[in-house]
Amino acid sequence: MRKDKSKYRFNPITLDYEAITYTIRDYSWIVVRYLLAGVVLGGIGIVLYASFFKDPETTNLEKKIDYLEDQIKVYNQKLDTLEIFAEELEKRDETVYRSIFGAAPYQRKFSGFVPNATNDFSTDEDILETQYRIRRLQEMFVSQSKSYEEIYQLARNQGEMLNSIPAIQPVSNQDLERISSGFGYRIHPIYKVAKLHTGLDFAADIGTEIYASGDGVIEQVESVLTGYGNNVIINHGYGYQTLYGHMSKILCVQGQQVKRGQLIGLVGNTGASTGPHLHYEVWRNGEKVDPAFYFYNDITPEQYEEVLQRAANATQSFD
């Protein structure tokens, strides 16, 4: 027996079921509705898939972006170090080298470079900032090299003066235990108050040899129970003097002519000192200046960095 596949609907007026007759238009709307539903469901499926299941190309691109962002951070950290180094070069240039020859400050010129975005990807602020810092460093080093060229020309005929400048360490590296305290404010080891430490402390064994750091004349030989104890002052001329304190033995006399590298005494622990060391000072036109600037080529970069760090931190000195 064949089943009747006709569809019926209840007519509330006649209170009877009537067969539903579909026209071509009705079938068309049914097809359209199914198609629209399929499109909507397909779109939702695509969105969900893209959200939870990324294709390999997208995953690789995201990894590359993360890597590049990390690299920008690393390069900026390196730029931080280079900027500090460049600033130290400028500082030594102005306060030491040009001061030595009485030269006017070098007129540094910068282009005022402002990085411009060349495409949609170069508008990132981190990239633009890195571009600016690199360009600024390039100009700083170019300017510094030109300044050094001027200084070289000034130095060619200044041999006698250059020999007099205190330009080496007073204690040999092979005998040096460490540079225990730098130039700057320190906690005094005896009075326990912050006090300006006006030189460098070279920690070494008693009896370690001490050398003149430049040509000059022994201006003062002093032996006292307090202060710098057994100490020597050398007048190098050209506005420079150096002091060597806390010696165990003095091996020079007042008025004696000395040459750079000449033995003048031995490391000790005399005067107001709490341990064997040499306290060394450099004076420029009567003003006490940081000796580290004057023997940078005589110590390692690590030692120089240590001196700068100690100068920046209020630690206790030996005297």
**pLDDT value at 315 more than 90:** no
One domain for residues 201 and 305: yes
Q: Which CB contacts under 8 angstroms, 24+ apart, belong to 131-134? A: 133/76, 133/79, 133/83, 134/79
Examine the fold and report which residue of 106, 135, 157 is the final residue of a domain before the chain moves on: 157
One domain for residues 259 and 245: yes
Per-residue pLDDT tens for 46-97? 777 666 666 677 777 878 878 878 888 888 888 888 888 778 777 777 777 7
Give the domain range for residue 30: 8-52
Which range among 24-28, 51-55, 184-188, 237-241 shows the weakest confidence by mean pLDDT? 184-188
CATH number of the domain residue 200 falls in: 2.70.70.10
One domain for residues 25 and 153: no
Residue 48 has which token pair?
């969900």
**pLDDT value at 248 more than 90:** yes
One domain for residues 210 and 299: yes
Establish if 3 belongs to a structural domain: no
Task: Tell me the average pLDDT across 100-115.
Answer: 68
Examine the fold and report which residue of 119, 135, 157 is the final residue of a domain before the chain moves on: 157
Average predicted confidence (pLDDT) for the chain: 77
One domain for residues 151 and 185: no
- Number of neighbours of residue 84 by Cβ within 10 angstroms: 12
Into how many domains does the chain fold? 3
One domain for residues 44 and 63: no
**pLDDT value at 44 more than 90:** no
Task: Tell me the average pLDDT across 229-240.
Answer: 94
Which range among 5-9, 84-88, 155-159, 209-213 shows the weakest confidence by mean pLDDT? 5-9
Q: What is the dihedral of CA 237, 238, 243, 248, to 10 degrees?
A: -40
Establish if 270 belongs to a structural domain: yes
Per DSSP, the residues of the chain read: -PPP---EEEETTTTEEEE----HHHHHHHHHHHHHHHHHHHHHHHHHHHHHS--HHHHHHHHHHHHHHHHHHHHHHHHHHHHHHHHHHHHHIIIIIHHHTTPPPP------------SGGGG-HHHHHHHHHHHHHHHHHHHHHHHHHHHHHHHTT-HHHHHHS--S-SS-GGG--EEEE-SEEEE-TTT-SEEEE-SEEEE--TT-EEE-SSSEEEEEEEE-SSTTSEEEEEEEETTEEEEEEEEEEE---TT-EE-TT-EEEEEB--SS-SSSEEEEEEEETTEEE-GGGGSGGGS-HHHHHHHHHHHHS--B---
One domain for residues 29 and 109: no
Contact of 207 with 267, CB cutoff 8 Å: yes
| pLDDT-above-90 percentage for the chain | 21
Per-residue pLDDT tens for 286-307? 888 888 778 755 555 565 565 5
